[in-house]
């Protein structure tokens, strides 16, 4: 039985991961982490998420929460993730990191941490999006510079980072397949007299509205035709199930930084 602790336990994703972990015969919940001063500290997480007492108390003490865990599943905030990794770096525990919005330095810190223990780090844990990443690579290699590439993403009004981590991952996959440097070619907004589209730009546009769980469309625009591929998440459970799958997969891995393509055997 794999013991998991969830960081960001009172959040939208934390709630679903905890609820689904209760249905699993392979996993058990050993800890629930929230930031210091959170209103749920000291409460039973089962009661917090409305499934009744499960005997796991929400705590802000990372050492306490991780002491008994085989894997931490983290859907918190970039500063929360890095803070937790730093506090346990001398006694590293495998991490599944679903949090998005990290800076380059923070990603470098995650890389260093993962040299000591296996970690999965993926901006999107759904099976569908990860299959899509593979397909995007295939398409871009064939269409090359003859087709304009645009990414449009839409999420709920409460999402804090933009563009989504998934859109950025898609952009990285496309840039790599097209032999481009994303820093030089990404275009995040257009306004005013912008002139003609340059051949190598990769457009990445953001929509924020209502309760959209997560939608991504990649458009390859050629002369006389276009390809549009869309993924729509209709429930957060798709990400939560992916995170639990990643946690189970991690227990057999050696130290290193993995992504969902590794977990799903898509590489």
- Rule CB under 6 A: say whether 10 interacts with ligand NAD: yes
Q: Report the C-alpha gap between 2 and 14 in whole angstroms.
A: 17
- Rule CB under 6 A: say whether 257 interacts with ligand NAD: no
- Rule CB under 6 A: say whether 239 interacts with ligand NAD: yes
Question: By CB under 6 A, which span of 33-41, 176-184, 199-207, 224-232 interacts with ligand NAD?
Answer: 33-41
**Helices (H) then strands (E): counts for the chain:** 10, 12
CB-CB contact of 97 with 116 (8 Å):
no
**Nearest distance from residue 131's CB to ligand NAD, in Å?**
14
Q: Report the C-alpha gap between 5 and 238 in whole angstroms.
A: 19
Q: How far is CA 174 from CA 66, 83, 237, in A?
A: 37, 32, 27
Question: By CB under 6 A, which span of 44-52, 93-101, 136-144, 177-185 interacts with ligand NAD?
Answer: 93-101
- Rule CB under 6 A: say whether 66 interacts with ligand NAD: no
Among positions 141-180, residues that touch ligand NAD (CB under 6 A) are: none
In the complex with ligand NAD, the residue whose CB is nearer, 77 or 143, is: 77
Residue whose C-beta lies closest to ligand NAD: 11
Residues binding ligand NAD: number (CB under 6 A): 25
**Nearest distance from residue 33's CB to ligand NAD, in Å?**
5
Q: How far is CA 135 from CA 26, 128, 230, in A?
A: 31, 11, 12
For ligand NAD, which residue of 13, 72, 174, 204 counts as binding (CB under 6 A)?
Answer: 13
Q: Report the C-alpha gap between 81 and 77 in whole angstroms.
A: 6
For ligand NAD, which residue of 34, 70, 153, 262 counts as binding (CB under 6 A)?
Answer: 34
- Rule CB under 6 A: say whether 125 interacts with ligand NAD: yes
Exposure b/e, 141-179, CB count within 10 A at least 16 = b? eebeeebbbbbbbbbeeebebbbbbbbbbbbebbbebbe
* 134: helix, strand or coil: helix
- Rule CB under 6 A: say whether 72 interacts with ligand NAD: no
Task: Give the β-pairing of 95-97 and 71-74.
Answer: parallel
Q: Which residues are catalytic?
A: 155, 159
Q: Tokens 């999402």 appear where? A: 159
In the complex with ligand NAD, the residue whose CB is nearer, 220 or 239, is: 239
- Rule CB under 6 A: say whether 59 interacts with ligand NAD: no
Q: Which of 254, 11, 244 is nearest to 125 (CA)?
A: 244
- Rule CB under 6 A: say whether 186 interacts with ligand NAD: no
**Nearest distance from residue 193's CB to ligand NAD, in Å?**
34
Binding site for ligand NAD (CB under 6 A): 7-8, 10-14, 33-35, 38, 75-77, 80, 83, 98-101, 122-125, 239
């Amino acid at each position: 039985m794999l013991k998991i602790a969830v960081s960001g336990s009172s959040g939208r994703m934390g709630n679903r991961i905890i609820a689904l972990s209760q249905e699993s015969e392979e996993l058990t919940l050993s800890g629930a982490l929230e930031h210091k001063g959170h209103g749920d500290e000291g409460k039973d997480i089962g009661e917090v998420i409305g499934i009744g007492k499960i005997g796991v108390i929400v705590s802000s003490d990372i050492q306490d929460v991780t002491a008994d865990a085989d894997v931490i599943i983290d859907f918190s905030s970039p500063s929360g993730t890095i803070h937790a990794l730093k506090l346990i770096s001398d006694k590293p525990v495998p991490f599944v990191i679903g949090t998005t919005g990290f800076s380059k330095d923070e990603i470098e810190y995650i890389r260093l941490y993962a040299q000591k223990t296996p970690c999965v780090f993926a901006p999107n844990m759904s099976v569908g999006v990860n299959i899509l990443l593979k397909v995007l690579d295939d398409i871009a290699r064939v269409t090359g510079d003859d087709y304009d590439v645009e990414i449009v993403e839409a999420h709920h009004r409460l999402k804090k980072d933009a563009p989504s981590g998934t859109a950025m991952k898609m952009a990285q996959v496309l840039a790599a397949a097209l032999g481009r440097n994303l820093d030089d070619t990404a275009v995040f907004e257009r306004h005013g007299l912008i002139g003609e589209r340059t051949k190598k730009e990769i457009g990445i546009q953001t929509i924020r509205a209502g309760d959209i769980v997560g939608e991504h469309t990649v458009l390859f625009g050629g002369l006389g035709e276009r390809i549009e591929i869309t993924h729509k998440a209709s429930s957060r459970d798709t990400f939560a199930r992916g995170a639990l799958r990643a946690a189970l997969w991690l227990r057999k891995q050696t130290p290193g930084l993995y992504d969902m393509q590794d977990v799903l055997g898509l590489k």
